Amino acid sequence: MDDSLLLIPMLVGLAGGLALFLHGMTMMSNAMRAMAGSQIKTIMARLAGNRLSALVTGAAITAVVQSSTVTSVIAIGFVSAGVLTVAQAIVVSMGAAVGSAVTAQIIAFDVSYLALVLTAAGFGLSMWKARRVASLVGTVIMGLGVLFIGLSMMSDFMAPLRTFQPFIDLMASMSNPLLGILIGAMFTAIVQSSTATLGVIIALAAQGLIPLEAGIALVFGANIGTTLTGLLATIGQPRAALHTAIGLVCFKVLLVLIWLPLMGPLELLTRAVSPIAHGLAFADQLAYEVPRQVANVHMIVNLTTVLILLPFTNLLAALIVRVVGQGPEQTQEEVTASELSPVLYELPPLALAAARRELSLLGERVGDLLDAAVPAILADTPVEIDKLEGAEQSIDQLHAAIVGFLEKLLEPGQSPDVCRMAIDLVEAADYLESIGDLVDREMIPLYQRHAESGAAMSPQTREGLRAFAQAVSQELRQALRAVAEDDQDLARAVLESKSQVRTLERAAIEPQVQARESDAPHWVLPTALERELTESLRRAYSLVRRFVRVGTGLHGADSN
């Protein structure tokens, strides 16, 4: 039969096997992320520590998401948000490289005979929905089984390549490692996963189709190809994100430049630490030895390069910033919701944490507007009122960004806990935005209408309203702290302040006794401005209470 006719089913089988391999990785990743849950936030909190902790964190996150590319992109997103420095993000990417090497070690084991057993056992355990952790463990096991089925399928369908002359010629040309690097980089850039590339390399090696030197060149190419996704993730991001992506490229390029002249010693070292088969035919010997050798090469070059470059990461970051430049300063509009990077969707707990931080920023803007508007109204200073024009627009923009970001978390298959928290944060953002609307669309127009009538506010009422407004503002700030820190005790303190705040409200607009020169003292009712302003502040305080309840999960607390 014509070789070209044999090539078609082989490519179809290879594509199907690769799809199963990637699907198994996705199943494992999703289940492990769900099991990690809020612990992800604890892991990421270590990023701001020293270089060693950032390195370990990068490896740990890669173990969870099963992709060094995703970890690197997440680090770039954190740099964009200002959570990480460029140097810290580079170290995290180095840790991700070590984590991916561990994944390569796992898939290099020949456990294809257990693949169906793992899939069946994992499926059975995953159906135990009454025990969430057990079900997720089952999904991880099933994903591992599917991964090995895909790996075995790729290996089996590649068997005809042993007699396919164009492929034999291609492997012979791998004596020039630059070709292998180019092929590995291009394939990794297409599938956007260095682990998938390593899976294909190991599948080829399991059929005895590639020698170790070709495997080394392909591993080098896989390391370089994985940087493309990071570069793409910087589109539309601040210049610091580009600095981080270039740092990742520099790390991978330096890895290749360090080891390319040392391929001979690297090959000897790899053979020395890898299992050796004796008495087998050449192809069978390659099939036995090379898969493990490829995984060991990946581990050796990644780990040693990390150890070599780790002390110089600050210097590397500074050099990149100097060469690339800081870029133009961002305007207020450009920094709106800067922490809400789409890359965080890969780790929902981190996405929720970022949304909570932006919610605090939204609350601060609302509080600043309230603190500026009410004193200006009470002092009757139109100039100060005019300065607030446009402030509510920035609040609306940030509110829309937060709500839009959280809505994208509510996708099918998302965990109920994540969905519930996302819904709560959207509701909390709505309450804050409503307070901003009260100030901009009610209090300020109210002042402007009554200012035209020339009605004066009595000093006693002015002081009462000022005290009431300060109390509302203070409770808003306390509520923001409670939600930012997820502190239910502080939230309860805000809710328990109701009686004191209500007392100040009543004191602000109670009828006053004034003495007249020619008559007995008489009662003076508060003006329409005073009554309506008090009502607006009362509703603002009510919104603060709703905000702190939903933001901290106190749904059953007193809602009056």
pTM, 2 dp: 0.67
List CB contacts of 371: < 8 A, sequence separation 6 or more: 473
User: Does the pLDDT value for residue 557 go beyond 60?
Assistant: no
Amino acid identity, position 269: L
Q: In the structure, what pLDDT confidence band is assigned to residue 516 with cuts at 50, 70 and 90?
A: very low
Block residue for tokens 């709703």: 546
What rounded mean pLDDT belongs to the chain?
Answer: 79
Round to whole Å and give the CA distance between 18 and 149.
Answer: 10
Average pLDDT over residues 469-488: 90
Q: In the structure, what pLDDT confidence band is assigned to residue 513 with cuts at 50, 70 and 90?
A: very low
Beta-bridged to residue 252, according to DSSP, are: none
User: Does the pLDDT value for residue 161 go beyond 60?
Assistant: yes
Q: In the structure, what pLDDT confidence band is assigned to residue 477 with cuts at 50, 70 and 90?
A: very high
- What would the DSSP string read from start to end of 29-44? HHHHHHHHTTHHHHHH
Q: In the structure, what pLDDT confidence band is assigned to residue 328 with cuts at 50, 70 and 90?
A: low
User: Does the pLDDT value for residue 148 go beyond 50?
Assistant: yes
Round to whole Å and give the CA distance between 250 and 227.
Answer: 9
**Where is pLDDT greater, at 301 or 241?**
301
The pLDDT score that the predictor gives to residue 163 is 64
Query: Within 13 A of 26's CA, how many CA atoms are on the CB side?
Result: 9
User: Could you report the per-residue pLDDT of 167-199, keeping only the tens digit for each?
Assistant: 767 766 666 888 888 988 888 888 777 777 888
Number of neighbours of residue 552 by Cβ within 10 angstroms: 25
Query: 396, exposed or middle or buried, with CB in 10 Å at 0-12, 13-18, 19+?
Result: middle
Round to whole Å and give the CA distance between 421 and 101.
Answer: 35
Q: In the structure, what pLDDT confidence band is assigned to residue 99 with cuts at 50, 70 and 90?
A: confident
Dihedral pair phi/psi, residue 391, rounded to 5°: -65, -40
Average pLDDT over residues 142-165: 77
Average pLDDT over residues 125-134: 81
Question: Which H helix or E strand runs over 110?
Answer: none
Query: 282, exposed or middle or buried, with CB in 10 Å at 0-12, 13-18, 19+?
Result: exposed
**Where is pLDDT greater, at 282 or 356?**
356
The pLDDT score that the predictor gives to residue 90 is 85
Average pLDDT over residues 347-351: 76
Q: Could you write out the three-class secondary structure of 143-181?
A: HHHHHHHHHHHHHHHCHHHHHCHHHHHHHHHHHCHHHHH
The pLDDT score that the predictor gives to residue 362 is 92
Query: Which residues of the chain does CATH 1.20.58 include?
Result: 342-552
User: Does the pLDDT value for residue 520 go beyond 70?
Assistant: no
The answer to whether the beta carbons of residues 555 and 549 sit under 8 Å apart is yes
User: Could you report the per-residue pLDDT of 367-388, keeping only the tens digit for each?
Assistant: 999 998 888 888 878 878 878 7
The pLDDT score that the predictor gives to residue 197 is 81
Round to whole Å and give the CA distance between 165 and 63.
Answer: 39
DSSP conformational letter for 48: G
Question: Which H helix or E strand runs over 558?
Answer: none
The pLDDT score that the predictor gives to residue 470 is 92
The pLDDT score that the predictor gives to residue 515 is 41
Of 252-266, 401-415, 471-485, give the lowest mean pLDDT range: 401-415
The pLDDT score that the predictor gives to residue 526 is 59
Does the structural domain 342-552 have CATH classification 1.10.287?
Answer: no
Alpha carbon distances (Å) from 436 to 332, 433, 560: 18, 5, 21
Question: Which H helix or E strand runs over 515?
Answer: strand 512-516
Round to whole Å and give the CA distance between 220 and 198.
Answer: 11
User: Could you report the per-residue pLDDT of 389-445, keeping only the tens digit for each?
Assistant: 777 788 888 999 999 999 888 877 677 778 888 999 999 999 999 999 998 888 888
Reported in sequence order, the residue ranges of 340-379 that DSSP labels E, i.e. its strands, are: none
